[in-house]
Structure 1
């Protein structure tokens, strides 16, 4: 009979997510993971199969948290401009506060672009964000906040791309004035 797990898997995934987020996949060793999670190799392999398996779970958790947070805020928005300005400004502020950390989604897309599971997770998350933005923009257009000449789907694709670029520029240590100007320019796309 197998021994029952003696650690909280969800907590372990959260802690691994933080470690991968700070260091990246390649710079995080199995020893780093076992130390951070306070588990042995048998427990790690038993619960996650491999370092890759744990990374996939951590990335899935991050994507779910980030996408759900963004989607909820967009769906609850009664006005598109203030909601979008708030979301974009918060992203810029997070990067200004801790530029080395960046966005795990962006980090994963660049560091693990040769891993099919990572590419699929990143792509699926970006499709969800784009779809949520498109729906929000369609609702804004129906309320008269967005001109009839605007294409919500194209704007959503642009904004999804802009968000990822904003996160990269934050990691590249762009200053506050640069990021604020970029956000203001992106918001003008709604005019």
Structure 2
């Protein structure tokens, strides 16, 4: 008779996500995961298959959470500039508070470039950010908040690239003034 799992899969994925986010994919060993999840190797393999498969699930969870936060910040906002500034400022603050953590998507792009499934998920996450931004910018253009001559998709691609760049620069422990100057310049793209 099969034994029931004695742990919560979703909670385990969240804990693994946090561990991968802190340590990186390569630096996180199977013993690290087993200790963090408080499970044995048999349970680990039965639930997740492999370290890579768990990493992909953790990355999916991360992008889902981040995507939800971005969509919530932009959806239904009465003014696009303060909403986008708020999103960008929150990233700057997160990086200033803990520059070692960064963004799991950026970390994956820089650490797992040889893993096709991981790079596919990174591309999907980037496209999701672009989509949320483009939709919000399109609504803002329709309301007259940004010039009718501005292309929401192009602006969204610029801001998406800027977001990824600011996460990398944050990891380099750049000072607040540097980060805030970059943010102010990015915001002028909406003028």
Shorter-normalised TM-score: what interval?
A: over 0.9
Give runs of ≥4 in structure 1 deviating > 3 Å: none
Deviations 1:14-47 (A, max 9, x none): 1100100000010000000000100000011000
Aligned to 2:65: 65
Q: Over aligned residues, Cα RMSD in angstroms?
A: 0.6
Secondary structure class of the residue paired with 2:120:
helix
1:134-173 counterparts in 2 under 5 A? Answer: 134-173=134-173
Distance 1:68 1:120 in 2: 19
Distance 1:75 1:120 in 2: 26
Aligned to 2:113: 113
Distance 1:24 1:76 in 2: 35
Distance 1:85 1:32 in 2: 38
User: Does structure 1 residue 180 correspond to structure 2 residue 170?
Assistant: no
Q: How many corresponding residue pairs?
A: 191
Distance 1:119 1:143 in 2: 36
Shift, 1:76, TM fit: 2.6
Aligned to 1:128: 128
Secondary structure class of the residue paired with 2:75:
helix
Extract unaligned runs of 5+ from structure 2.
none
Extract unaligned runs of 5+ from structure 1.
none
1:10-25 counterparts in 2 under 5 A? Answer: 10-25=10-25
